[in-house]
Amino acid sequence: MKTVAHLSDLHFGRTDAVVVAGLLDDLHAEQPDLIVISGDFTQSARQREFRAAYRFLRRLPAPILAVPGNHDVPPADLLLRFLAPFARYRYWVNNELCPFVETDAMAVLGINTARRARLGLNWAEGSISRAQIEMVQRRFDAVDPAKLRILVAHHPFVAPPGAPRTTVARRADSALPVFADIGIDLLLAGHLHRGWSVKAAAHIEHALLVVQAATATSTRLRDEPNSYNVLLLEKERIGVRVRAWHGDRFEAVGTAWFARTSRGDGWIRSNFSAR
């Protein structure tokens, strides 16, 4: 079995140092094969916030696949925002905004859904371009069908259960059928700072397993503790385990299991376990 830790919305600049240290301890104990971070490394894209994020990243115990979030684009420095919106992210986190990692068991692609501006709209909202949808198709065309296919974005493409009016990434409606068609197994996102309960963290949409991570370390909480997910990846089943902050450490609060359909064309909910 392979494991992937899915962290999101770290928000350095507005973090609790005890939680950050607890997260590092927990990840060292969990020893995941890969750590996916779905954006919002900083609160306001300041140099010192990115420096703190960089120090954290250097201490992680596994390879990292990251995408930027809306908070990683400088909000106030308009010149920087428009001329080089991702310059600081590229310098401190990763020069590649849509990274791709392939191992013997899985292929993982990040999509940058953060934008410098959106005409007449809330700049915090995300988008996938037509070119990016084609890029996703091209990337996975070349991947062995036996490998798990995982997509990572900061902005959700699907509204979580119980919050159907949540704003999703622009063109999500066009992207989702394409993702299903090319056999994407898992779609990971953050941004909402919600998803610590096992039921909220994972659900099925278009036969895709959609996983939402809450904020791992930010003090900007929305009635939920800090948490992150550990994905337990087997060939015919996937577990989404939520590990939440319990005042002095992260602890598993439960695992939602999903099984591959008998036709092999998607996933169905299987069972919950308490740990």
Binding site for Fe ion (CB under 5 A): 9, 40, 69-70, 191
User: Shortest approach of Fe ion to residue 155 CB, angstroms?
Assistant: 7
Q: Are 186 and 151 in contact (CB under 8 A)?
A: yes
Q: Which is nearer to Fe ion, 72 or 185 (CB)?
A: 72
Could you tell me the CA-to-CA distances from 72 to 23, 96, 210 in Å, in that order? 21, 14, 23
Q: Which is nearer to Fe ion, 114 or 148 (CB)?
A: 114
Tokens of 232: 């337990």
User: Shortest approach of Fe ion to residue 212 CB, angstroms?
Assistant: 12
Q: Are 253 and 214 in contact (CB under 8 A)?
A: no
Q: Which is nearer to Fe ion, 6 or 191 (CB)?
A: 191
Q: Which is nearer to Fe ion, 191 or 260 (CB)?
A: 191
Q: Which is nearer to Fe ion, 26 or 40 (CB)?
A: 40
Closest CA to 96 of 48, 156, 139: 139
Other C-beta atoms closer than 10 Å to the C-beta of 130 total 10
Q: Which is nearer to Fe ion, 216 or 233 (CB)?
A: 216
Q: How many residues does the chain have?
A: 275
Q: Which is nearer to Fe ion, 222 or 235 (CB)?
A: 222
User: Shortest approach of Fe ion to residue 202 CB, angstroms?
Assistant: 19
Closest CA to 128 of 100, 93, 156: 156
User: What single letter denotes the amino acid at residue 223?
Assistant: D
Closest CA to 240 of 254, 250, 259: 254
| Non-local CB neighbours of 249 within 8 Å, separated by 6+ positions | 22, 25, 26
User: Shortest approach of Fe ion to residue 71 CB, angstroms?
Assistant: 6
User: Shortest approach of Fe ion to residue 244 CB, angstroms?
Assistant: 17
User: Shortest approach of Fe ion to residue 193 CB, angstroms?
Assistant: 6
Backbone angles phi and psi of 254, in degrees to 5: 145, 165
User: Shortest approach of Fe ion to residue 21 CB, angstroms?
Assistant: 20
Question: In a 3-state reduction of DSSP, which class is residue 245?
Answer: strand
CA 201 from chain centre, in angstroms, equals 11
